[in-house]
Chains A and B, each alone.
Chain A
């Protein structure tokens, strides 16, 4: 079965450390996205990529970095510059520019910084 896998499910890190969240898909989708969810808020876009070796900032990119070296993979690094990193992070993939094509989501990573 094709799908999108995020790991780990739960992640604890000390303040000041960088941490990388994994997102892998085998759906052959060109586009991949990272969203952040905080309590009572909608999903907010961090970064997205519509093709390998290219990515764009979303609404809240500060303190985050990404890479897209392979079509299947879009890892997100939460750097020490991110002021409030504790949140739930959701990865998605899709076909770019297809307005009628929905996103396939991973099951998320909950990051807690102590």
Chain B
């Protein structure tokens, strides 16, 4: 079983703070790393897909980086807003399926 680890498990920040969290994954046989955003009572929604070492993706205030050689990805949120409150999942693509981390639960207080 492939291990995908995310840290921290939960995070509480004030509105306007910038924050980041980590996803670590096996560095061998890398295909792709996916980030999802999962709001309470909704279904997870895709944020980013990264396939190449050094990839950086950005969507508004959220960005992500990828280091496949050392097996980690960072997700950054600049100027957090209450609507950013969600669980952020990363998933390691394993050719046949994706293996998910336990997620980082972000709460942004107004």
**CA separation between A33 and B37, bound complex, in Å?**
18
Which residue of chain A lies nearest to B98 when distances are taken between CB atoms in the complex?
Answer: A103
**CA separation between A82 and B12, bound complex, in Å?**
36
**CA separation between A106 and B42, bound complex, in Å?**
8
Q: Verify if A74 is at the interface (C-beta below 8 Å from B).
A: no
Residues of A within 8 A of B103 (CB): 42
Q: Does the CB pair A102–B36 fall under 8 Å?
A: yes
Q: Does the CB pair B51–A33 fall under 8 Å?
A: no
**CA separation between A52 and B109, bound complex, in Å?**
46
Q: Verify if A35 is at the interface (C-beta below 8 Å from B).
A: yes
Number of A interface residues in the complex (CB < 8 A) = 25
Q: Verify if A56 is at the interface (C-beta below 8 Å from B).
A: yes
Residues of B within 8 A of A112 (CB): none
**Of B1, B9, B42, B46, which is within 8 A of A103 by CB?**
B46
Q: List 28 A-B contacts (CB under 8 A).
A: A4-B43, A33-B98, A40-B9, A42-B4, A42-B6, A42-B99, A43-B89, A45-B99, A48-B97, A50-B96, A59-B1, A90-B44, A97-B95, A97-B96, A99-B31, A99-B32, A99-B49, A99-B51, A100-B49, A100-B51, A101-B49, A102-B34, A102-B36, A103-B46, A103-B91, A103-B98, A105-B44, A107-B41
